[in-house]
Amino acid sequence: MCGIIGCVNDEAVAPILLQGLKRVEYRGYDSAGVATVSESVIRVTKAAGRIDDIERKYGLSTLTGTTGIAHTRWATHGGVTDRRERVAIVHNGIIENYLELKKQLRAKGHIFKSETDSEVIAHLIEAEYRQAKDPVKATILAAKKLKGQYAFAALFQDAPELITGARKDAPLLIGVGDTKNFIASDVLAFIEHTDRTIFLDNQEVVKVTNRSVEIFDMNGRPVRRKPTQVAWELADLSKMDYAHYTLKEIHEQPKTVVSAMMQNEEKLAEFVEKIRGARSVFVTAAGTSYHAGLLLKYRLERDAAIRCEVTLAGEFREHSEFVDGGSVVIALSQSGETADLLEAIREAKKKGAKILSLVNAAGSTLARESDLTLLLNCGPEVGVAATKSFTAQVVVANLIVDNLVGSGNGGGEEVARMVEEALSSEPTVKEIARMYRERSDFYFIGRGYHYPVALEGALKMKELSYIHAEGMAASELKHGTLALIEEGTPVVVINPRGETHADTLSNAEELKARGARVIGISDEPSEVYTHFIKIPRAKESLTPVLEAIPLQLMAYWTAVEKRNDPDYPRNLAKSVTVK
């Protein structure tokens, strides 16, 4: 959820920590903290606000010391403090037994300064360190006592040459440089310095100095693991000339849908064979990835005649009665770190199912715990709202189904051209955003294959513009929601030519008769639409990609009109690594 970074450098570490924090800003936060150790003092600065503002106010980059840790997080208060404590930590996750541990530590004389579960980790390590006099041993002993999910990095007052880290059910990565090494929750925190990465496994502990990285299991036994090179280019991280990452990522889609289509043929064939050979097929995901999962289900059933259940990741356990050794579970995720999803696949694994996944972040926990993974290849998605990862998921899902039925999937060039054409709707969409920015409600409707896109349009609108939005099957309107339609209510009708076109058009007429402003997204204009957003005519399987683009732009431009920050919507985090 939050971003954490630790670094041991051979010169001042604070500027590197700050740069890393800015890279993980997209994960969502309302405050940040930095701690460095120098001359036997751990100096901690934490404050609410944006990193740039905190830096201006407290001059974080001038903190001395070559070893330090930092985090972005929600709801931290405070200013600058010189700490005489022996240990400081940054933590991602939730410690379930912190009240119990706090009680025990208080009884031993520890004084707590906050109500956070994280502070317990620092006191626990400190208590163990007093006995063991060894940072690694202390980290292991402390980690063994923690229940819940965690990824943390620890800084020691009297061992300024190192940091330690540990993880359980929350991601922790090691960045291996030449003169500096890192521990971080996200590869983007250190990618400017090194692309050599080690993904720490669950219940492992690491010790990092500026020249060495040592990994241990929970019994203190050394673990050998070589770094892998992460392919995300540094260039991908700049906003270029765009005002926001979200806009840049929306505009990248002509390129990213093509790179997503470039799958290793053998791997794709193996993936397809596993689905073909399964007794039952389940799909699971959260948020936007769930909407892509609904599209995959539609195509598997309609085109490949393979029955498929699709379940929200957070609901999977309650609906996994029929998952067994003959099942295949397909998990979709941009981050590969969504806690609900990881819990779902672990549950499925326990029942003997094979896990297939579609993931953007190579090396993520989902990718590592899957039997087989197809990567989305759309590059880092920094904007909190999923955009290019959704369209990448749709084209990879299409590849899978097209291979199952033995049909060709069309050339990348043609797909890129159509996506480009869909993007040319931007001036119309921008005007619509300006006209409806003050509305309190938005509705999105579609039928069949277009219904999940209506859900996705509403989700984008909610998270970026903060306007209440509902996506629904067009057929459902008359079962209740029609009562909410009044003069001027904007309703987006997703309705390209095809078998559902006529029925959806008649729903649009019903809406118009009740005063709605109907915003039609289609390859076919109609008088019923108050506004018409034209998308190119395409075969059905590609329509969700073309429909999603104006919907992403509409949410983006409404957010901009309302002066929201589209890259960092309030209360949201890019990777939801807690339940």
Question: Which are the catalytic amino acids?
Answer: 2, 574
Nearer to ligand F6R, 160 or 171 (CB): 171
Nearest to 312 by CA among 455, 526, 498: 455
Q: Is residue 24 close enough to count as binding ligand F6R by CB under 6 A?
A: no
* Closer Cβ to ligand F6R, 9 or 552, answer by number: 552
Please identify, using beta-carbon distances, which residue of 4 and 88 lies nearer to ligand F6R. 4
Residues in the chain, how many? 579
Residue numbers 377-416 binding ligand F6R by CB under 6 A: 385-386
CA distance 360 to 381: 9
Encoding tokens for residue 246? 């979200």
Tell me how far apart the alpha carbons of residues 69 and 37 are, in angstroms, rounded to a whole number.
9
Exposed/middle/buried for 319, CB within 10 Å: 0-12, 13-18, 19+?
A: middle
Of 79-118, binders to ligand F6R (CB under 6 A) are none
Site residues (CB under 6 A) for ligand F6R, limited to 430-449? none
> What whole-number distance in Å separates Cα of residue 342 and Cα of residue 365?
8
- Our CB check for ligand F6R shows the closer of 46 and 574 to be 574
Q: Which of 346, 381, 231, 287 is nearest to 576 (CA)?
A: 287
Q: How far is the CB of 5 from ligand F6R (least distance, A)?
A: 20
Answer whether 562's CB lies under 8 Å from 439's CB: no
Tell me if residue 393 falls in helix, strand or coil.
helix
Q: Quote the least distance from Cβ 133 to ligand F6R, whole Å.
A: 41
Residue 82, beta-bridge partner list: 43
Q: How far is the CB of 338 from ligand F6R (least distance, A)?
A: 3
CA angle 345–349–350, rounded 5-degree value? 120
Q: In this complex, which beta carbon is closest to ligand F6R, that of residue 37 or of residue 378?
A: 378
Span interacting with ligand F6R, options 280-288, 371-379, 411-419, 515-523, rule CB under 6 A: 280-288
> Which token pair is 85?
């404590």
Pick one of 160, 287, 293, 550: the residue that binds ligand F6R (CB under 6 A). 287
Structure tokens at 92: 């991602």
**Residue type for position 488:** G
Contact yes or no for 67/96 (Cβ under 8 A): no
Sign of CA dihedral 169, 175, 176, 181: negative
Q: Does 459 bind ligand F6R (CB under 6 A)?
A: yes
CB of 341 or CB of 362, closer to ligand F6R: 341
What CA–CA distance (Å, rounded) separates 479 from 304? 32
Contact status: 576 vs ligand F6R (CB under 6 A): yes
463 is a site residue for ligand F6R (CB under 6 A):
yes
Nearest residue to ligand F6R by CB is 287
Radius of gyration of the chain measured on its C-alpha atoms: 25
Q: Is residue 338 involved in binding ligand F6R (CB under 6 A)? A: yes
Stretch binding ligand F6R (CB under 6 A), from 11-19, 223-231, 329-337, 508-516: 329-337
Could you tell me where the DSSP H helices lie in 425-515? 426-436, 451-465, 501-513
Instruction: Verify binding: residue 250, ligand F6R, rule CB under 6 A.
Output: no
Task: Decide if residue 333 touches ligand F6R (CB under 6 A).
Answer: yes
CA atoms within 13 A on the CB side of 399: 28
* Residue from 369, 281, 274 nearest 323 by CA: 281
**Which residue, 460 or 534, has its beta carbon nearer to ligand F6R?**
460
Distance CA 377, CA 399 (A): 14
Q: How many residues bind ligand F6R (CB under 6 A)?
A: 15
Taking the complex as a whole, the smallest distance from the CB of residue 285 to ligand F6R amounts, in Å, to 6
Helices (H), 474-574: 501-513, 543-561
Among 341, 469, 516, 560, binds ligand F6R (CB under 6 A): 341
284 binds ligand F6R (CB under 6 A): no
Min separation Cβ 396 and ligand F6R, Å: 13
Q: How near is the Cβ of 383 to ligand F6R at its closest, in Å?
A: 8
Nearest to ligand F6R of 125, 576 (CB atom)? 576
Among 187, 188, 286, 559, binds ligand F6R (CB under 6 A): 286
Indicate which single residue of 76, 334, 465, 558 sits in contact with ligand F6R (rule: CB under 6 A).
Answer: 334
Q: How far apart are CA 64 and CA 135, in angstroms?
A: 22
Task: Name the one range near ligand F6R by CB under 6 A: 109-117, 124-132, 151-159, 286-294.
Answer: 286-294
Least Å from the CB of residue 384 to ligand F6R:
6
Cα distances (Å, whole numbers) of residue 481 to 445, 451, 478, 516, 528: 11, 15, 7, 12, 20
Sheet holding 372-375, edge to edge: 308-312, 280-285, 327-333, 354-359, 372-375
Shortest reach from residue 65's CB to ligand F6R, in Å? 34
Question: How far, in whole angstroms, is CA 297 from its chain's centroid?
Answer: 22
Minimal distance, residue 572 CB to ligand F6R, in Å: 8
Q: Does 37 bind ligand F6R (CB under 6 A)?
A: no
- Asked if residue 247 binds ligand F6R (CB under 6 A), the reply is no
Distance between CA atoms of residues 324 and 152, nearest Å: 35
Q: Which of 335, 357, 425, 465 binds ligand F6R (CB under 6 A)?
A: 335
**Identified binder of ligand F6R from the candidate list 139, 185, 284, 289, rule CB under 6 A:** 289
Q: Residue 160 or 287: which CB sits closer to ligand F6R? A: 287
Beta strand pairing status for 490-494 and 441-446?
Answer: parallel
Nearer to ligand F6R, 376 or 423 (CB): 376
Stretch that binds ligand F6R, among 45-53, 151-159, 282-290, 495-503 (CB under 6 A): 282-290
Least distance CB 364 / ligand F6R (angstroms): 9
Residues near ligand F6R (CB under 6 A)? 286-289, 333-335, 338, 341, 385-386, 459, 463, 575-576
